[in-house]
Chain A
Amino acid sequence: MADEISFSPDDKYNAFLATCKRAPHGNGKLAGVAVAVKDNITTKGIETTCASKILKGYVPPYDAHVIGLLKAEGAAVVGKTNMDEFGMGTTTENSAFGPTLNPCDTRRVPGGSSGGSAAAVAAGMVRMALGSDTGGSIRCPASFCGIVGLKPSYGRVSRYGLIAYSNSLEQIGPLGKTVTDVSALMGVIAGHDRHDSTSLDKPYNHTPNADIKGLKIGIPQEYFGKGVDPNVADVVKKGIGRLEELGATTVPCSIPSMEYALAAYYVTCTCEASSNLARFDGVRYGPAPDTKKSWHDAYQEVRSAAFGTEVRRRIMLGTFALSSGYYGKYYAKAQVARENIKADFNRIFADVDVIAGPTMPTIAFRLKEKSDPLSMYLADILTVPANLAGIPAISVPCGKSEGMPVGLQIMGRMFEDERVVDVAYAYEQAVN
């Protein structure tokens, strides 16, 4: 017989969309550990909405692969966390069910899109949480809320059951208060899954090691340049200084292709999203269409009413970019830019072991501060390169600016997730 834990948090940050008062759990590496799950990860029998009205009431009949792995190791799935609708946002304000507040300062956003997961961990409601990272959606809220978040290498964690926003960019990943917790959760969720053709047989069996003597760290000038808050840059530089004290050396470097990173990212993700989200038509999920109308009119009405503004904007952008005559101009070009970014990273990684910089160019925004979409998109500049290249990246708290947490981002070579975890661990051990 499985045991249960009871879970009735005082959720003053609106971190959860659904909670399980009694969550069953078994035995294993995570026996009895309460894990919160981002609401775009399918959970059998628990409503899964992606924080969208269009999925209101949808109770999946199956578990995502990672949920099966969590349960097999004894974890208790205690609830589903708030997010930007379908992952489209950097603040968790784009939720159909209200924004999540930052536990460090409730006048500020927790970051996004996995803001609910980050807030739940930061507030101590759960020890660990799963998020997903398409362009920074784990690292950004980890940075803003002062916790640890890992975006694994593309292919190391099965996406089966992750409700797709941008398939070629995103990964499910762990969030936790400590690198040790993040590493432990990564150990449970990583590995090959025959249901995800893009997943690889690269399990993660690693205990963090704080010895980084001789490590070479690349410091890209673009991560400390225009658009990056100088205070944040200073905090991060100090953090990197701690790593040098631990025996690492730093090497200045440059990622010239970053100039195209945001464009490549937003073209790719909106194109894929426009296709992924087309299935939400009111026939099988969400508000039922008025059947007296012809089907195309009914689809139009349901989709106009039930998707939020940002989601509609990205669907329109992606639909346009994939249209006849534009594919070569946008999507195909974006893939070329991705190859260039990969090539830049490969070149740099021939000389250095990891790349370090700030996770986000600023501290957490005030609620409603980012009202125009472009300024919001610009905030993703430091996180999207890792998604475009598929490489692992972790955010670890490295001090404060204006009293708010700042995240240090460590990016590593493809499939060297263990190494970025070690560097983050070394930093964490040194400062604690």
Chain B
Amino acid sequence: MADAEDQVIVGLEVHCQLDTKSKLFCGCSTDYRSDGPNTHVCPICLGLPGAMPSLNKRAIEYAMKVAKALNCEVLNESEFSRKNYFYPDLDKAYQITQYDKPLAEGGYLEIESDEGGERKIRLTRIHVEEDPGRLVHMGNVERGKYSLVDYNRAGIPLIEIVSEPDMRSPREARKFLNKLRATLEYLSVFDSEKEGSLRVDANISIKGHERVEVKNITSYKGVEKALLFEVTRQKNLIRRGQRIERETRHYLEARGVTQSARSKEQEHDYRYFPEPDLRPLRVRSWLDGIVLPELPDARRERFMAEYGCSLNHARTLTGELKLANFFEKVVASDKPGLSPLASTWIADTLIGELNYRDMSLDNVDPAAITGLVLLLKAGTITDKSGVEVLRVILDQLLKGEMAETPDAIVKRLNLAKTAGDTGAITAAIEEAINENPKALEDYRAGKGGALNFLVGQVMKKTRGKADPAELNRMLAEALKKRGA
């Protein structure tokens, strides 16, 4: 398919922290986030004079897992290089990274394209590098009196995954990131929940115009927002007949806008040369020893085959490792019996309610969802009551309380369907008809809306417990008795 005249073209450079126990070139722990500044440091990651890097093999293994999972070719020989630039967070004034001999080249990742269906996004390369430290600005970065440097992050292993400009919308860029995140998590090499564990630079252009690099995107949602802003900005410039400058722009997360970087920052000459303190890497043979776990695509297919999930549900459920594991726990006791209800209740309802509360799935006990699905399956409660039970559980968890079991909630709130308890429904029907003589008249006059109105009234009185089918039947009978 030929691209349209104003086709958006996006390529991404994604930096992910590898979830190793120790840093890339020294033994310091990577578990620094809850500790004070400069507590996870040593002569090596501080870049003290005379200190030398020694490579953490585990980080290379992790990166090779990723390369294998993304169908990349691991080079026979790769090497580390120095990227030289001055910045106060960079203790050696160079970053040890890979330049013209990266760990792996090529490869691809499949995403759901905007037109539907799967599309391969080609990858250019994957390389390994060290994270710099971090500046903490006292006050505003421009006007603050001083900045402090925290080197806890210095030397954390990163992989940079560079894509070809194969994405055609901000939405596809987000999908690429989500898929990449899922893949890395399935490989157990990445923890997306650690703050700052993922950073993205995006190249975006409108077909036939210069491209702009947007740096500094630090969240999954941020990628789509930043790119949407750029699409609008660039299209507006084109519409006004202005030229798009080839430039670097920073994404300002708080304001949701991009801003041109100062020209000084664009004039880097990194003076790359091979890192003389490390030997070339000849690790391709390690690939043979790497056994990949089930990856998102395979798991999606399995969810459809094994649990009968719809494509959409399977995509959602396997799109996050935790969610997929959660689903499998929920249905473990009775796969064929529980899966149909569980897939929709988890993929649609639970995720919606969690997002609404900005809650993590970690808080939720799969057994509670199993309990809920069992109640729904047995017809003990209506869908409406099911949602209420779920909300009670999540609200209790949100307050830090122990959540009640679904059974206990149903009992306490008296949410069980009034099936069999025809007395209560009959009474509610009688009340509803008596209170709404106009509706009775309308019904007699053949106005269809009147019946729905009365059903609603009865539901209200029974607080949703009435089984809708049964209620319809009883209401029709009651109206018939009144000669309608």
A22 part of interface (Cβ distance < 8 Å) = no
B279 partner residues in chain A, CB cutoff 8 A: 197-198
| A170 nearest CB neighbor, chain B only | B276
Q: How far is the CB of B222 from chain A (nearest CB, A)?
A: 27
B94 x A161 contact (CB < 8 A): no
Distance between Cα atoms of A160 and B44 in the complex (Å): 10
B residues 52-74 touching A (CB-CB < 8 Å): 52-55
Distance between Cα atoms of A61 and B51 in the complex (Å): 11
B residues 216-242 touching A (CB-CB < 8 Å): none
A41 x B50 contact (CB < 8 A): yes
A61 partner residues in chain B, CB cutoff 8 A: 43, 48
A322 partner residues in chain B, CB cutoff 8 A: 84, 271-273
B276 x A167 contact (CB < 8 A): yes
A275 x B82 contact (CB < 8 A): yes
A296 part of interface (Cβ distance < 8 Å) = yes
A159 x B273 contact (CB < 8 A): no
A residues 329-345 touching B (CB-CB < 8 Å): 331
Question: C-beta contact mask, B185-214 vs A, less than 8 Å → 1, else 0?
Answer: 000000000000000000000000000000
Chain B interface: which of A10-18, A276-284, A384-392?
A276-284
Q: How far is the CB of A64 from chain B (nearest CB, A)?
A: 6
A272 x B276 contact (CB < 8 A): yes
| A292 nearest CB neighbor, chain B only | B145
For B47, B50, B54, B271, which residue has the most chain A Cβ atoms within 10 angstroms?
Answer: B50
Question: C-beta contact mask, A36-63 vs B, less than 8 Å → 1, else 0?
Answer: 0000111000001010000100101110
B52 x A279 contact (CB < 8 A): no
| B147 nearest CB neighbor, chain A only | A295
Contact A275 B86, CB 8 Å, known A55-B49, A198-B279: no
> Which residue of B44, B50, B276 is within 8 Å of A60 (Cβ)?
B50
B252 part of interface (Cβ distance < 8 Å) = no
A164 x B54 contact (CB < 8 A): no
B277 part of interface (Cβ distance < 8 Å) = yes
Q: How far is the CB of A269 from chain B (nearest CB, A)?
A: 11
| A283 nearest CB neighbor, chain B only | B88
B276 partner residues in chain A, CB cutoff 8 A: 167-168, 198, 272
Distance between Cα atoms of A278 and B82 in the complex (Å): 12
Q: How many residues of A contact B (CB 8 A)?
A: 44
Question: C-beta contact mask, A377-417 vs B, less than 8 Å → 1, else 0?
Answer: 00000000000000000000000000000000000000000
Distance between Cα atoms of A50 and B48 in the complex (Å): 13
Distance between Cα atoms of A324 and B52 in the complex (Å): 26
B92 part of interface (Cβ distance < 8 Å) = yes
B52 x A195 contact (CB < 8 A): yes
| A164 nearest CB neighbor, chain B only | B50
B421 part of interface (Cβ distance < 8 Å) = no
> Which residue of B43, B93, B146 is within 8 Å of A278 (Cβ)?
B93
A118 part of interface (Cβ distance < 8 Å) = no
B91 part of interface (Cβ distance < 8 Å) = yes
> Which residue of B49, B52, B54, B272 is within 8 Å of A58 (Cβ)?
B49
A250 part of interface (Cβ distance < 8 Å) = no
For A41, A58, A195, A285, which residue has the most chain B Cβ atoms within 10 angstroms?
Answer: A195
Distance between Cα atoms of A195 and B54 in the complex (Å): 6
Q: How far is the CB of A266 from chain B (nearest CB, A)?
A: 15
Contact A197 B43, CB 8 Å, known A163-B49, A279-B93, A283-B149: no
Q: How far is the CB of A113 from chain B (nearest CB, A)?
A: 16
> Which residue of A40, A161, A162, A281 is within 8 Å of B93 (Cβ)?
A281
A371 part of interface (Cβ distance < 8 Å) = no
Contact A279 B271, CB 8 Å, known A62-B43, A168-B276: no
A271 part of interface (Cβ distance < 8 Å) = yes
A197 x B273 contact (CB < 8 A): no
Question: C-beta contact mask, B325-349 vs A, less than 8 Å → 1, else 0?
Answer: 0000000000000000000000000
For A58, A278, A322, A327, which residue has the most chain B Cβ atoms within 10 angstroms?
Answer: A278
> Which residue of A195, A271, A291 is within 8 Å of B146 (Cβ)?
A291
B269 part of interface (Cβ distance < 8 Å) = yes
Distance between Cα atoms of A161 and B86 in the complex (Å): 23
A196 x B52 contact (CB < 8 A): yes
Question: C-beta contact mask, B244-287 vs A, less than 8 Å → 1, else 0?
Answer: 00000000000000000000100001011100111100000000
Q: How far is the CB of B263 from chain A (nearest CB, A)?
A: 13
A299 partner residues in chain B, CB cutoff 8 A: 86
B50 x A162 contact (CB < 8 A): yes
Contact A62 B53, CB 8 Å, known A279-B93, A296-B86, A299-B86: no
Q: Which residues of A contact B (CB under 8 A)?
A: 40-42, 48, 50, 55, 58, 60-62, 64, 159-164, 167-168, 194-198, 271-272, 274-275, 278-279, 281, 283-285, 291, 295-296, 299, 319, 322-324, 327, 331
Residue contacts A-B, CB under 8 angstroms, 23 given = A40-B50, A50-B49, A60-B43, A62-B48, A64-B50, A161-B50, A167-B276, A194-B54, A196-B52, A196-B277, A197-B278, A197-B279, A275-B82, A275-B273, A279-B47, A283-B88, A284-B46, A284-B91, A285-B49, A296-B86, A322-B272, A322-B273, A327-B272
Closest 5 CB pairs of A and B: A278-B93, A322-B271, A167-B276, A168-B276, A42-B50
Known: A55-B49, A278-B93. 14 other contacts (CB 8 A): A41-B50, A60-B43, A159-B277, A163-B49, A163-B50, A196-B54, A197-B52, A197-B277, A279-B49, A279-B92, A284-B46, A284-B91, A323-B271, A327-B272
